[in-house]
């Protein structure tokens, strides 16, 4: 009986451990806020000469 209980405790511990690992793996990157808001581009650039870009 005691050995059976020990196995159950071990199995439960492994499950908890796996859940903790899974939580750690999936929660560190990404946001996922899904919200519909009108896009801001009405077509091609079509304006003055484009002057943007990275400056480091």
Q: Which residues bind another protein (CB under 8 A)?
A: 6, 9-10, 13-14, 16-18, 20-21, 23-56
DSSP 35: -
At closest approach, how far in Å is the CB of 50 from another protein? 5
**Following CA atoms 12, 17, 22, 23 in sequence, which dihedral angle do they give, to the nearest 10 degrees?**
100
Of 1 and 42, nearer to another protein (C-beta) is: 42
At closest approach, how far in Å is the CB of 10 from another protein? 7
Q: How far apart are CA 15 and CA 13, in angstroms?
A: 5
Which tokens hold the place of 30?
């990404």
Of 1 and 24, nearer to another protein (C-beta) is: 24
């Amino acid at each position: 009986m005691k050995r059976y209980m020990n196995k159950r405790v071990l199995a439960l511990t492994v499950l908890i451990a796996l859940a903790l690992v899974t939580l750690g793996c999936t929660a560190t990157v990404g946001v996922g806020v899904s919200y519909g808001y009108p896009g801001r581009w009405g077509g091609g650039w079509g304006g003055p000469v484009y002057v943007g870009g990275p400056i480091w």
